[in-house]
Every structure is written in C-alpha cells, then in structure tokens.
Amino acid sequence: MDYQATTPVDPRVFEAMRPYFCELFGNPASKSHSYGWRAEDAVEKARRQVAELIGAQPKEIVFTSGATESNNLAIKGVVDGYADRGNHVITVATEHKGVLDVCKHLKNAEVTILPVSIDGLIDLDQLRAAITDRTVLISVMIANNEIGVLQNVREIGKIAKERGVLMHSDGTQGAGKIPVDVIADNIDLLSMSGHKIYGPKGVGALYVRSRDPRVKLAEQMNGGGHEHGMRSGTLNVPGIVGLGEACAIAKAEMAEESKRTAALRDRLREKLMAELDQVYVNGSIEHRLPNNLNMSFACVDSESLLMGIHDVAVSSGSACSSATVEPTHVLKALNIGPERALSAIRFGIGRFTTQEEVDYVAGRVIEAVRKLRELSPVYEMSRARE
C-alpha cells in the first residue's frame, strides 16, 4: 500500500528487458556492427514509446538515471543556458526535494517559493505576481508525491507562455497515471522516472521541447556528448527498454487502471471514515491522483500507528531526524497544524492491489487506531468536548 514510493516491475516489462542483459548486450554508441545497431534500435523504440505517452516527439526525449537527474538537468540547464536573460526561478513549497534541493543549490540565482492553500493548490494570481522580467523558469509538479494533489499545470504553463517564461514540471507521479500532453499542457520540460510506473529503478527521462520555443539546456554531465549533447554517458539499454515498455502499457491501460484504483482508494477512505471519528483527508479530494490517499487520525501518532500495522507497507507523514519527529515539508506547507501533520499516513493503491487487500488494511488500521486511542487521554478529552 505504498505505491507512491515505488512500484514492482510489471512482468511484461521484465520480459521486454530480459534479452538486453546477456544476449543483446551491445552499446548503442557502437556504430560499426550489428550488436550496436540492435541496441540503438531498441533505444529508439523506447524513445518513441516514452514520447507517445506524453504527446512529444521522440527527438525531444533525453534518457537519464531517473527523475532526480532529470530535475537537475532541467533546472540547472535552464539557469545556466539562459543566464543572459535572467536568473529568477519560481517553484512551490510542496515540491519534491528533487526540485527544492536543486533550487537551494543554484549558484547566482534568485528563487521564489510559492505557498499553497490547505488543499495543496497554489494561487495562480500569486504566481502571476511573482513573475519578473528576470524570471527564466517556473517549476511546478503535476502530482504531489505525498498528498497526491494535482496542480493546474495547463493554466500554469499558459501563464508562463504568456510571459515568455519556460515551464518545467516534475511529472514523476503523474505521467502514466493521468493523461499528460506536453503540448496542450504548455509544458516545456517534463521529468519522469521508470520505477513509479512499473518500470525498473535507475532510469528516467526528460522531455525537452524542440520548437515554440526550442529549449536550450546547458549540459550538466560532460563526456561523450550522448543524448543530443545534453546527457553524456553510456546508455542503460535494459533500463531504457523497460521504461519504454512501461510507458506503452501505461498508455494502453491508463483509463481502466485509473478507474479501478480510484474505486479502491474511495473504498478504503469510506471504510475508515465510517468506523473512525476525527479522521481527515489531507489535500484536495477533487484534484487528486486516483491512487493516492493521505489521511490523519486525530490523537494518534503516525509512528505508533505504523508499528501497530507493521505487516502493512504504508508511509508516515512524519520523518525522524536526530530523535525529533517533525512533519514533512509538504504537510507543514498545508498549515494543518502539527498534531494533524504528525498523525498522517499515506496509502498508495497500485496496479496489483486487490479489493481483499484494501479491506484487510482498512480493518488493521481501524483496529490499531482504536487501540491507540484507548491509551490516549487527549482523545478522551476531545470526545468529551463534542
């Protein structure tokens, strides 16, 4: 129940990858023999599959080691490549650390971090007001990895285009789960990762728009000039083949899969809320990934709840650091208060989740919450005030 963290490799993806480990082991940069040619053909097929998922052209896909590298290449590449035009970047307080930490380490750049409302959405008027004549990039994720909230990237991209600013989106959680069209959504750069969509770990992609406008990126990894000179390094052929196959499966099955996972997500939420009081959903219900549920259970510490359901894989809304439990930066940004933030649990429904598993998890959570609340004088006081 933690499919936002990672996904298993789909057996169909694994079978597509298998030949490229031992039999078809060529280097796609080897241009003088059939081993290299066959590897190159496999890479180019995968490039087409990735492009088709997001409405891009194959030549606009750059293969990387994952979304973190893609984010680094996109953000640093734009800041370096457009230094003559400006040095201002706009992002959001709930972005993944793979964006926020990149922005924190930018040299000679000014970064504006926009707040979000309690539903996790940004205020588009605040975005408009934040843009200056020195702004070169807006980076806003499609879907949040903790609370599943979907930002209005199409409108954000439209605002960016009207002001002549490039739009980057961390699409790690969104691409392959909801429809993404980089042209209609006005996205200039999009980051993706294989292991979030039933592909292998250690491989990802960056979409880089080639026209209207043509995005120029400053190379961040120097070497042999691979990937149109944007990302040097020998290509991970089995991983790339797996990413391509995962994208093809997602494109074919997304509509049905989204409907199924949303139904399971709603079933879990309804069961929990029917049996437990003082339970809250964090982030917008309307603008949300179909497979994400982030809930707080009042008067229950999330770490204690995790131990109470140790046979279930879920993640906590809090992180332990130096023996001090702190809410994550995402939950802090929602301004829901420390007590609610420290009682948050993220549930991730996936391709292989069954209704029986959802019912089992609901029962385990209800049982554990009730036991923990029996030991909580704070809960008894809150009940008395009702």
In sequence order, the 6+-apart residues with CB closer than 8 A to the CB of 136 are: 78, 79, 82, 85, 86, 87, 88, 89, 165, 166
Q: Which two tokens stand for residue 11?
A: 């057996």
* CA quadruple 215, 218, 222, 224: dihedral, nearest 10: 30
Q: Which two tokens stand for residue 205?
A: 């992609």
The catalytic position among 22, 103, 299, 320 is 320
Q: Which two tokens stand for residue 1?
A: 């129940």
Helix (H) or strand (E) holding 126: helix 124-130
Q: Is 377 exposed, middle or buried (0-12, 13-18, 19+ CB in 10 A)?
A: exposed
Q: Is the peptide bond before 115 cis (omega within 30 degrees of 0)?
A: no
Helix (H) or strand (E) holding 319: strand 318-321
**Letter for the amino acid at 251?**
K
Confirm if 287 and 119 have CB atoms less than 8 A apart.
yes
Ramachandran quadrant class, 289 (left: phi over 0; alpha: psi -120 to 50; beta: rest): beta
Residues forming beta bridges with residue 318, ordered by sequence position: 327
Q: Residue 357: helix, strand or coil by DSSP?
A: helix
Q: Which two tokens stand for residue 238?
A: 């089995």
Name the E strands within 220-312. 279-281, 292-297
Q: Residue 136: helix, strand or coil by DSSP?
A: strand
22 is catalytic: no
* DSSP secondary structure letters along 145-204: TTT-BBP-HHHHHHHHHHTT-EEEEE-TTTBTTB---TTTTT-SEEEEEGGGTTS-TT-E
Q: Residue 68: helix, strand or coil by DSSP?
A: helix
Cα 276 to Cα 270: distance, rounded to the nearest angstrom: 10
Query: Which residues are catalytic, by number?
Result: 320
